[in-house]
Amino acid sequence: MKLAYFKIEDFDCQETGKNEMDEDFLHQLDKLRAACGFPFHVTSGYRCPENHPIEKAKAKAGTHAQGIAADIAVQGGVQRRTIVKEALEMGMSVGVAKTFVHVDSRKTTPYVWCY
């Protein structure tokens, strides 16, 4: 798989090193990065549902465990706003925190939440 802005290893599970990221999601994330115009640092990509502590605590695997989510570190409000705006325009769901923005491609109507 050829991505313009990322290496597949950027999305490895921090607990196991496994990586089951969805190829379509990664291409969508590449397009989001291009639209935003600044580098992304992915702080969380794939999360192994059996071994990652956040996923193990859930009754049902989340979007990270499905390979359709990433958390992107942000430096201030301008980056945060830009990612949110562009991701929503692309039909992604968005979670907003102080230090990162979560984006995913769940199959429901896109929505926004705060941590």
pLDDT tens digit sequence for 72-102: 999 999 999 999 999 999 999 999 999 999 9
Using alpha carbons, select from 3, 67, 65 the residue that is nearest to residue 40: 3
| Helices and strands in the chain, H and E counts | 3, 5
pLDDT band at residue 68 using 50, 70 and 90 as cut-offs: very high
Domains of the chain by range and CATH?
Answer: 9-114 (3.30.1380.10)
Q: How far apart, in whole angstroms, are the C-alpha atoms of residue 21 and residue 8?
A: 8
CA atoms within 13 A on the CB side of 61: 15
Predicted model pTM: 0.94
CA atoms within 13 A on the CB side of 107: 3
